[in-house]
Amino acid sequence: MNEVLTFLNKLLNSKDTLILGVSAGPDSMCLLHLLKNNFSNKLICAYVNHGVRKDALKEAEFLKTYCIDNNIIFEYMEIKEYQNNKFSESEGRRKRYQFFIELLNKYQAKYILTAHHANDLEETILMRLTRGSNLKGYIGIPRVNNHLVRPLLTVTKKEILEYNKLNNIKYFLDYTNDDTNYTRNRFRKKIIPLFEEEDINVHKKFIKFSEELSKYNNYVNNIIKDKIKDIYNNGIIAIDKLNKEADFIQEKIIEYVIEDIQKDEIFDINDKNKKDIMQLIKEKKNKQIDLGNGFIGRRSYNNLIIEKNNIIEDYNYEFNNYIKVLDKYVIEKCDNSNDKSNNVIRLNSKEISLPLYIRNIHNDDVMIVKNMVNSKKVMDIFKNAKIDIKLRKTYPIVVDAKNTIIWLPKIKKSTFDKEISEKYDIILKCTEEKE
């Protein structure tokens, strides 16, 4: 473990607060012991109960007592729900890391440390080669990735067990690690031993493989950083500029953007994701695709946007002189205005039913646009105005008490709008606050 201690001594400052993911298994208990006995950093021991094993509560209680005895902060989280009410390795991993990140912010910690070791690196590389990934994915598990650190990545499971035995470290064994229904366990039990038959130190070859790919990945990323300045800004990719690049560069730019957007999220892009995104670029129509792990890709005219798929909730607010919607659109009454644009509407209160309301779109919404006879679907108005496909679902609409659409602020006014020379007693204006 001398190499691990040397690595940590170079990395850590004694004032750094550390979040340590601990499962109570041999690997994480080894890392916890190393940190506790060799460093003076403030430690936060984070335990996640995935809701799969009954022993989890026993392990959590053991860790809680251990932390009290050793002046370590203990944090516990239980995953109570999974999509489709079925345990998923990837979903469990995502929720686990989300918990770690919450703790990182709560304690203003410097790093999240996990106990991944050399054999984990082997398994990860082989799994990603099997399912398909990208250059960064094939690297496997980086030892340091922003705030994520894996100090034990150069040591094997055998070395960890020997350290635990030498230091009389108590740990628990997870029986699910023997269940070959789980993908990682199949690689661990059936595939890795075949490599070790060829070379008992094959883990060192995987480490070298990972380090070599890291060099290439860093080189390519430096090229992408230079090219991306004119293509990507504030979460948006300009498709026309992206299309001027070679296919390989396009793919690397997309990967780079995903990494930038996700930041603290756990979102691994795979071959299918890349294929779907490239198809979205070529189709030349507004469309949204599911990228998994709570992310979506969507095309909005000439823009490609990759973002979290936040659930859109309906809203309906009574208007009382002033309102701010979506932290962006301000709608308010004013005493006078000479503005004749769609930013301002003039109303005669006798022609409408008060009070007014501000809400988002409904599927059957129609409006009689000023100077038109027939009603027009609001969604078609949005499309003609080239309103972003996602914004259409939340864009503020002004209606009266009978749910008659009066105004689409900044877009179109209804037949209820009055000219400056006509009779009116209500003036509304809409302004947009820039982000």
Residue 270 has pLDDT above 70, yes or no: no
Asked if 121 contacts 153 with a C-beta cutoff of 8 angstroms, the reply is: yes
User: Which residue type is seen at 238?
Assistant: A
What average pLDDT does the chain have?
A: 90
For residue 268, what pLDDT band results from cuts at 50, 70 and 90?
Answer: low
Question: Residue 26: its pLDDT value, please?
Answer: 96
Question: Average pLDDT in the 334-345 region?
Answer: 94
Residue 293 has pLDDT above 70, yes or no: no
Residue 329 has pLDDT above 60, yes or no: yes
Question: Average pLDDT in the 190-217 region?
Answer: 94
Question: Residue 58: its pLDDT value, please?
Answer: 94
Q: Quick one: what percent of the chain has pLDDT higher than 90?
A: 62
Q: Which domains does the chain have, with CATH numbers?
A: 2-209 (3.40.50.620), 231-308 (3.30.465.60), 316-432 (3.50.40.10)
Residue 408 has pLDDT above 90, yes or no: yes
Cα distance between residue 193 and residue 119, in whole Å: 11
Question: Average pLDDT in the 426-430 region?
Answer: 96
Cα distance between residue 334 and residue 426, in whole Å: 8
What strand order describes the sheet that includes 295-300?
232-233, 236-238, 303-308, 295-300, 287-292
Give Cα separations from 28 to 23, 111, 253 (angstroms): 6, 15, 36
Residue 420 tokens, joined: 């400056």
Question: Residue 263: its pLDDT value, please?
Answer: 60
Chain mean position to CA 254: 15
Question: Residue 73: its pLDDT value, please?
Answer: 96
Residue 222 tokens, joined: 């430096």
Question: Average pLDDT in the 363-387 region?
Answer: 93
Strands 111-113 and 17-21: parallel
Question: Average pLDDT in the 115-127 region?
Answer: 94
Question: Residue 264: its pLDDT value, please?
Answer: 53
For residue 111, what pLDDT band results from cuts at 50, 70 and 90?
Answer: very high
Cα distance between residue 256 and residue 225, in whole Å: 8
pTM for the predicted model, two decimal places: 0.65
Burial 381-411 (b: 16+ CB within 10 A, else e): bbeeeebbbbebebbbbbbbeeeebbbbbbb
Of 268 and 297, the one with more pLDDT = 297
Q: Nearest to residue 213, comparing CAs of 154, 135, 149, 123?
A: 135
Cα distance between residue 45 and residue 35, in whole Å: 11
Question: Residue 153: its pLDDT value, please?
Answer: 96
Cα distance between residue 265 and residue 197, in whole Å: 38
Question: Residue 13: its pLDDT value, please?
Answer: 93
Chain segment 144-164, per-residue pLDDT in tens: 988 999 999 999 999 999 999
Question: Residue 100: its pLDDT value, please?
Answer: 94
Cα distance between residue 404 and residue 352, in whole Å: 9
Question: Residue 91: its pLDDT value, please?
Answer: 80
Neighbours of 131 (CB within 10 A): 13
Question: Average pLDDT in the 113-130 region?
Answer: 94
Strands 111-113 and 148-149: parallel
Worst-scoring range by mean pLDDT, 114-118, 167-171, 214-218, 398-402?
214-218
Question: Residue 291: its pLDDT value, please?
Answer: 80
Coil, strand or helix: which one is 218?
helix
| Cβ contacts of 134 within 8 Å, gap of 6 or more | 251, 255, 269, 274
Strands 73-78 and 42-49: parallel
Chain mean position to CA 3: 34
Asked if 187 contacts 99 with a C-beta cutoff of 8 angstroms, the reply is: no
Q: Nearest to residue 4, comparing CAs of 161, 119, 198, 150?
A: 150
DSSP E strands in 177-245: the ranges are: 232-233, 236-238
Worst-scoring range by mean pLDDT, 262-276, 362-376, 381-395?
262-276
Residue 415 has pLDDT above 80, yes or no: yes
Residue 267 has pLDDT above 60, yes or no: no
Asked if 326 contacts 394 with a C-beta cutoff of 8 angstroms, the reply is: yes
Question: Residue 435: its pLDDT value, please?
Answer: 53
Residue 131 has pLDDT above 80, yes or no: yes
324 DSSP β-pair partners? 330
